[in-house]
Structures are given as structure tokens and as C-alpha cells.
Amino acid sequence: MSSTVSSRRSFLQLAGTGLALSGIGLGPATAAPTARAATAAAGPVLLNFNESPYGPAPAAQAAARGIVAESGRYLFALAGELRDVFAGQEGIGADRVRLYPGSSEPLNRAAVVWTSATAGLVVADPTFESLGELAAARGATVVKVPLRADGAHDVRAMVEAAKRINAGLLYLCNPNNPTGSITPADDIAWLLANKPAQTRLLVDEAYLQFSAQRSVIAQVMQRDDLIVLRTFSKLYGMAGLRLGVAAAHPDRLRELASLGDNPLPVTALAAGLASLREPGLVAQRREQNARVRQATVEWLGKRGFRCVPSEANCFMVDVQRDGAAFTAAMAERGVVIGRSWPIWPQVVRVTVGTEAEMAAFRTAFAAITGVPA
């Protein structure tokens, strides 16, 4: 099966690395321009970058608009308020939380801080790629461990690989991107108990709010080798506003911050704080996403197309033909979906859109494959 990378935009440039990363993680340019030309009036249906089709919650939009007049100041107190509210909701100390413009920045900082020519990286295959790409560019050995048949990370094989290459970092995305599949909490607990002592574990929970799975974030209060990332780009619909969180022991947060720091956009801070304070928002969007996703997955299954079990706002479907050609054909019909990965060349990732957008997906899919619409 082949994967399609999610579109959390990569870190622009890390001090001292000399590497411009703005393109990492986006994958090759797809046929979006063709799709736009084909649907010039309405524009294409965009199901390729795991963005939320609903955007920020109304309260978040109002908060962002309302603070624009004050954006001539950095408003550090607002960042502190957001940090404290997030920490309180997660039951962790505020000293374990640091805010970033999205979660791609701390992800890529982790590659600089904890991987090198003598400290390798272990990742799943397929998974979000930018961390591995940056680590490899810096001379680190990167081992890709295939996912299990159920889509979970093969934690035992990952631990063996970490021992073999003297890994400085082990990356686990849960739910995984691009598959949306879950690695059970018991497997993560086993990994933490059995990984090499010098290996940091970075758990990327960008999609966790779409799932009923437990977070591991509370463990940053007891461990100094665990880093947990969250983002407001997915369920909260703030991909373009750029806001994320790294949670870890203060020593690990200081290591991430050693590469420099900048104030965050006050519009993002205001929208993020309003999102956290919006009662019922997570549950409502989780249910909405699951309902639309499952309806599409069931439609595909009834027509003989297998999907990897997903608990995120994306899924992967085996299209039973070359994934790149299929993606291009969908774009020609005005529906832009994700790509495939080398390990799964016939499997493509699809972002979950609105009911209307998924109806357009089904229409285009049926036209290409010849199955009943």
C-alpha cells in the first residue's frame, strides 16, 4: 500500500542547519492546477491536505477578528493564558507546555536536536515524512518499520531497530498520518518500557481528537524522555492560522527552544483560546467527522475497495491500480485527493470533507472505476 503525506507545512528554516524546509512533507506537486482548470467556476474539491472543511469554530473566528486592533503588540500574556488553559485541561503543569506556530516546527526541531550522524531515527512506514526527511538530510540513519496489518505501529520491531542504530529519536504518530490508524495505548506503554534509555519518544497526536483513544500526554509529568505534540490545525480547523503545542519535561522543552524563539500571531492565540473554551466542540466535530468518514468507507467497501481502519479525518483506500495515475484522474474530475507512498503504490489517502464533498468524491471515484455510484 502507498501513502499520501499530510500537509502540515514544514518548518521554514532552522537556525544553523542551512536547510530550507518549506517544501518538506508536501510531496510532489499533484494535478491541482488541472483540477482548477477543469472546475474554474466552483473550484476543485480539496481532499488532499487533511485540512478541516469547516474552518475555525464561530467563537474562534470572532476572537481572531476581535483582536486584530490589538495586534500591534506581542501580547505575551495571551500566550501565557492559552498555555495555562491547555495545561489545565490536560492535567499537566504549565512548565510542561510550549506553544509553536503549528506542530511541524517542534517536529522538525526534534530532528535537529535529537538526531545526527551518530543518533538515528526510527519511524513507521508509511507515516508523516518530514521528520525522516530532515533527519536523513542531516546524516542520520533512518529506519522505516512497516505498519502491522491492522495499521498499528509495530512497536516491537521499532524497539529492535532503535537498539540496532543507537536511535536518538523514535517517532510515533497516533492516529497515524496518512492511514488514520490507531496504535493501542498498551503498545505505547510497552514501547516506553522497553525502548533504549537514550532514545526519546516523540508521540504526534495531531489527529487524536478525532479518536476516542487515550492520550499519553499526562506521562510528561513523570518522564523526561517523552515529547507529545498537538495541533489546532486539524479538528479545530486552524491550519492557516498556525498554532501547535509541544508537551514535555522542561529540560526537553529547553532543548527544543535552543534553536530560537519568536512570538506567535495574536490572531492564532485568540482563536486557539476560544476553541479550547468552546463547550462540546471536540465531541461535535468528532461525531461529524466519524459519520461522514464511515459512510464513505462503507460505500467503498460495498464496491470491493478496502480501506485501512481509520479514526482520523483521513483514510487510505486501495484503488487496485497505480495510485499516482488514479490521483491524477480524480483531479481531472475536480476532486483533488492525496498521493500514494512507495511502500503501498496502489493505496491513496483521502481527506474527509463535508457530506457534499464526499458525494463529489464518490461520483468521481465511480466514474473512474466503473462501479455503481
Place of cell 518548518: 11
Residue 318 C-alpha cell reads as 486501495
Q: CA 126, CA 138: separation in Å to the nearest integer? A: 21
Q: CA 317, CA 4: separation in Å to the nearest integer? A: 11
CB atoms within 10 A of CB 291: 11
| Tens of pLDDT, residue by residue, the chain (373 residues) | 433 333 333 333 333 333 333 332 333 333 333 333 333 456 899 999 999 999 999 999 999 999 999 999 999 999 999 999 999 999 999 999 999 999 999 999 999 999 999 999 999 999 999 999 999 999 999 999 999 999 999 999 999 999 999 999 999 999 999 999 999 999 999 999 999 999 999 999 999 999 999 999 999 999 999 999 999 999 999 999 999 999 999 999 999 999 998 899 999 999 999 999 999 999 999 999 999 999 999 999 999 999 999 999 999 999 999 999 999 999 999 999 999 999 999 999 999 999 999 999 999 999 999 999 9
Task: Please tell me the predicted confidence (pLDDT) of residue 9.
Answer: 35
Q: CA 280, CA 286: separation in Å to the nearest integer? A: 10
pTM score of the predicted model: 0.89
In terms of C-beta distances under 8 Å and separation of at least 24 residues, what long-range contacts does 283-288 make, across chains too? 285/52, 285/54, 285/209, 285/210, 285/235, 286/209, 286/210, 286/211, 286/212, 286/235, 288/54
Omega cis (within 30) before 58: no
Which residue, among 108, 77, 8, 103, has the nearest Cα to 49 in the 3D structure? Answer: 8
Adjacent-strand bridge partners of 244: 100, 231
**What is the per-residue pLDDT across 158-214, written as a single tens digit (0 to 9) for each?**
999 999 999 999 999 999 999 999 999 999 999 999 999 999 999 999 999 999 999
Q: CA 343, CA 350: separation in Å to the nearest integer? A: 17
Q: CA 209, CA 196: separation in Å to the nearest integer? A: 29
Measured between alpha carbons, how far is residue 70 from residues 74, 120, 170, 277 in Å? 9, 45, 41, 21
Which residue, among 163, 171, 168, has the nearest Cα to 147 in the 3D structure? Answer: 171
Q: CA 241, CA 239: separation in Å to the nearest integer? A: 6
